[in-house]
Amino acid sequence: MNADSLDGRLLFAIPKKGRLHEKCLELLAGADIQFRRHNRLDVALVLNHPVALVFLPASDIPSFVGKGNVDLGITGHDVILEAQMEEHVEEALRLGFGKCALQVQVPEAGPIQSVDGLAGKRVVTSFEVLAGGYFTEVDARLKKADAERTKIEYVGGSVEAACALGLADGIVDLVESGETMRAAGLHAIATVLQSEAVLIKSRVAKHEKLAPLIAMITSRIAGVIAAGKYVICEYNVTRAQLHAAVAITPGRRAPTVSPLETEGWVAVSAMVLKNTVASVMDELVKVGAEDILIFNLDNCRV
C-alpha cells in the first residue's frame, strides 16, 4: 500500500495492540466501518467509506493526531497527558471502556505506606511526565531540597517488578483490575489520575473537506457507546401519576408521551441507563405504572 492509495482519505489511528485494541475493533464494527487488514500491515483501507485505518502504538497516537496528518484517533486520556498534547488534540468523546487509574504503589508489607514517606525516594514508572509532575508538587509541599527530591526513573515494561528487584521504593503504574498489583505484593497509596479510552481529533482542522465525514464517524461512535449504556423503557401510566413516573424516567433529553385510547392513560417511552433498570422498574410499579417493557438497543444516534 502506497501513499497514493491514502490520498483524500480520512486517516483514523487505532491502537495496534494492548488493552484498547479489541474494544476498538468492536466499536468500528458497531459504527459500520468495514475493513480488511492484511497480515503484518499497519494500514487498512475501509471498504464503505473514504477512510484508512492506521494501527499505531497508543502512546504515539496523540502526536500523530495533534501534529501529523491523522484526523481521528482512539487512545487513553492518560496517554494524551503523558505526551503533553492537550494543546494540540481535542477529546471528542469519552468512550467508556479502558477505564483504569494511574496510581502510586508500594510494597504492601514495606516500611513506606504514604506518599509523603515515598517522597525523596526512588520511583519507577512508564509515565515520567505525570509521575514527575505529581512528585514535584509533593516535594514542593514538603519543602524538599534539590538533593532530596524524588528520583523518577523510566522503564518501558514490567514496572510492577521494580520494587521486588531492588530498582525502586515505589512505582507509578496503571491499575485496571488490580490483580497484577496484588500479585506483585503491591498496594496503592494514592491516585494520580483516572483514565479511559477517548476519541480524539486535532484542535486545528487539517482537511476541511473531511469535516462532514469526521462528524458522521463521531456521531456513529457516540451512538454505539450510548447503545451499550442505555435501554428503552416503555410503560403505561395514568395521567394523574405521569409527573411521578417521568421523574423516574426522564430520558436522556425527555421521554416520549403518547395518549392511549383508554381515557386518562398514556404510554411513555424513555432511554434508561442499563445498570439502573431493575430499580427503575421497581419505582415505576410503586407509582402505578403497568405493562413495563425493556428493549435492548443495537445502535442509536444521540
Task: Dump the DSSP string for the chain.
Answer: --GGGGTTPEEEEEESSSTTHHHHHHHHHHTT--B-PPTT-SEEEBSSSSEEEEEE-GGGHHHHHHHSS--EEEEEHHHHHHTT-TTTEEEEEE-S-S-EEEEEEEETTSS--SHHHHTTSEEEES-HHHHHHHHHHHHHHTT--GGGSPEEEE-SS-GGGTTTTTS-SEEEEEESSSHHHHHTTEEEEEEEEEE-EEEEEESS-S-GGGHHHHHHHHHHHHHHHHHHHEEEEEEEEEGGGHHHHHHH---SS--EEEE-SSTTEEEEEEEEEGGGHHHHHHHHHHTT-EEEEEEE-S----
- The pLDDT tens digits of the residues spanning 1-37 come to 555 557 789 999 999 988 889 999 999 999 999 998 8
| C-alpha–C-alpha distance, residues 264 and 139, integer Å | 68
Cell (9 digits) for 75: 487512545
Domain ranges of the chain: 3-97+197-206, 100-195, 230-296
| C-alpha–C-alpha distance, residues 71 and 200, integer Å | 8
Q: According to the model, what pLDDT value does residue 3 have?
A: 54
Q: According to the model, what pLDDT value does residue 274 have?
A: 95
Q: What mean pLDDT is predicted for residues 126-141?
A: 96
- The pLDDT tens digits of the residues spanning 256-271 come to 999 999 999 999 999 9
Q: According to the model, what pLDDT value does residue 5 have?
A: 59
Q: Which CATH architecture has domain 230-296?
A: 2-Layer Sandwich (3.30)
- The pLDDT tens digits of the residues spanning 92-108 come to 999 999 999 999 999 99
Q: According to the model, what pLDDT value does residue 102 have?
A: 97
Q: According to the model, what pLDDT value does residue 231 have?
A: 96
Q: Report whether 199 contacts 218 (CB < 8 A).
A: yes
| C-alpha–C-alpha distance, residues 15 and 161, integer Å | 25
Q: What mean pLDDT is predicted for residues 110-116?
A: 94
Cell (9 digits) for 79: 496517554
Q: In what order do the strands lie in the sheet with 43-45?
A: 43-45, 51-56, 10-15, 72-76, 197-202, 89-94
The fold of the 100-195 domain, in CATH, is D-Maltodextrin-Binding Protein; domain 2 (3.40.190)
What are the beta bridge partners of residue 44?
Answer: 53
Q: 11 phi and psi, to 5 degrees? A: -100, 125
Q: Among 82, 81, 89, which Cα is nearest to 64's?
A: 89
| C-alpha–C-alpha distance, residues 89 and 199, integer Å | 10
Cell (9 digits) for 178: 488490580
pTM of the complete model: 0.84
- For residue 299, pLDDT over 90 is answered with no
Q: According to the model, what pLDDT value does residue 9 have?
A: 92
The fold of the 3-97+197-206 domain, in CATH, is D-Maltodextrin-Binding Protein; domain 2 (3.40.190)
Q: What mean pLDDT is predicted for residues 38-62?
A: 92
Q: What mean pLDDT is predicted for residues 238-245?
A: 97
Do 100-195 and 230-296 agree at the fold level?
no
Angle between helices 211-229 and 21-30 (to 10 degrees): 100
Percentage of the chain beyond pLDDT 90 is 86
Residue 283's pLDDT band, with cuts at 50, 70 and 90, is very high
Cell (9 digits) for 298: 443495537
